[in-house]
Amino acid sequence: MTQAGAYGQRLGHFLRLKDAPPALVARSLHSAELAVTETRNDRPVPGLSGSLAAEDAFLVSLKLHDYPDCELWERGKSIMKADVRAGTTYLYDLKHDPRYVIDKPFHSLFFYIPRSALDGIARQSNAPRVDQLDCQVGVGHDDAIVRHIGASLQDGLRRPDEANQLFVDHMMLALTAHVARTYGGLQRPAGLARGGLAPWQAKRACERLESDLGGKLSLEKIAAELDLSVSHFSRAFRISVGMPPHQWLLHQRVKAAKQLMGVRDLPLSEIAISAGFANQSHFTRVFSAIAGLSPAAWRREALDASGGEG
């Protein structure tokens, strides 16, 4: 299947990277692909970047490394030079063929947002369509929300086998809504529903999440089964259950692991896989954060409390 958008391998070619950079993809807005890609080259060969295929889509870039005196191009022409600072956010319209001269080390996150995703956000908000984002050449933004979302997704980019799809969907949906409001003028819905899910909806959502501890189900699929938009479902689930779907799923994984450790004398590596974790180190990190003890320490305490029976 050919990749359509400007992320992953296609973005790597644009930046003349030798290997495909890590990317996470979310499909939480009626199958519109949202993606984040981490790009880095500490020893680039000087030259002009490639050219991305023109499409009705945008790149939101969070710079993680200073890039002084950056030469920026649009529509095949050199436009200006600007000093790019780490922590700054830039927006690019892919219809305008954005490019730049690569002559210094760079490190950035690129969020890919197609027009269909912006339209989906507007529909879910019962708001007018976002006509255009604020993509001024060379203008950076001090955006704490983009920095927070970027930092939250970096662990998944570096350990893609451990990435929770529900979490990726949740963060990319939040990023798209933030960009639409902040740089596209999207109005927040006036009558935002404050209620949670109906009891039957909460029960069914939890059952669906628990049936797939590996977290491969998308938010879109679960929301669609309840005939809700993704944003409405995420908000209502949190109200009803007390935490977002991806966090609830992590707690269910830990609960399942505790049951396995308390009843069966299984190696921790097998328990990790059975409870939906990618591997034992992933299991140890998540379990320790939620339970306050490592799995081995928790198991010792549990066995001591039960008199060593297992």
Q: Give yes or no for a contact between 256 and 303, defined as CB atoms under 8 angstroms apart.
A: no
Tokens encoding 7 = 């992320």
- The pLDDT value recorded for residue 43 is 95
What per-residue confidence (pLDDT) applies to 52?
93
Q: Are residues 152 and 278 in the same domain?
A: no
pLDDT per position in the chain (310 positions), as tens?
455 789 999 999 999 999 999 999 987 666 678 999 999 999 999 999 999 989 999 999 999 999 999 999 999 999 999 999 999 999 999 999 999 999 999 999 999 999 999 998 888 878 888 989 999 999 999 999 999 999 999 988 998 888 888 889 989 989 999 999 999 998 866 555 568 888 899 999 998 888 888 777 788 888 888 888 888 888 899 899 999 888 899 999 999 999 888 765 788 999 998 888 888 998 999 999 999 999 999 988 887 777 655 4
How far apart CA 120 and CA 122 sit, in angstroms, is 5
Tally of structural domains, the chain: 3
Whole-number pLDDT of residue 51: 94
Which domain covers residue 166, as residue numbers?
Answer: 9-184
Q: Are residues 280 and 139 in the same domain?
A: no
Claim to verify: residue 19 and residue 162 sit in the same structural domain: yes
As a whole number of angstroms, the distance between CA 253 and CA 261 comes to: 12
Cβ density class 212-249: b for 16+ within 10 Å, e for less = ebebebbbbbbbeebebbbbbbbbbbbebbeebbbbbb
Structure tokens at 281: 């180190």
Asked if residue 95 belongs to a domain, the reply is yes
For residue 210, being part of any structural domain is answered with yes
Q: Is residue 278 part of a domain?
A: yes
Residues 87, 220, single domain; the answer is: no
**Any idea what DSSP says for residue 128?**
P
Identify the domain boundary among 155, 184, 213.
184
Same-domain check for residues 177 and 207: no
Do residues 108 and 231 both lie within one domain?
A: no
E strand residue ranges, the chain = 23-29, 32-41, 47-48, 57-63, 67-74, 77-84, 89-93, 99-102, 106-114
What value, to the nearest 5°, has the Cα angle with vertex 138 and ends 103 and 35?
Answer: 80
Same domain, 229 and 261: no
With vertex at residue 214, the alpha carbon angle to CA 209 and CA 216, rounded to the nearest 5 degrees, is: 75
Residues 233 and 177 reside in one and the same domain: no
Q: Which two tokens stand for residue 288?
A: 């320790």
Distance, CA of 310 to CA of 306 (rounded, Å): 8
Q: Is there a single domain that holds both residue 145 and residue 80?
A: yes
Residue (of 28, 25, 34, 87) closest to 61 by Cα position: 87
Secondary structure class of 104 (helix, strand, coil): coil
38 beta partners: 109
Query: What CATH number is associated with residue 125?
Result: 2.60.120.10
Q: Are residues 125 and 211 in the same domain?
A: no
Answer yes or no: are the C-beta atoms of 146 and 62 closer than 8 Å: yes
Is 33 in the same domain as 155?
A: yes
Judgement on whether residues 62 and 207 belong to the same structural domain of the protein: no
CA dihedral angle for residue 131, residue 174, residue 154, residue 273, rounded to 10 degrees = -130
Assess if residue 129 is contained within a domain. yes
* 293 part of a folded domain: yes
Q: How far apart are the first and last CA of the chain?
A: 49
Let me know if residue 191 belongs to a domain: no
- Look at residue 170 and give its three-state secondary structure: helix
Domain presence at residue 131: yes
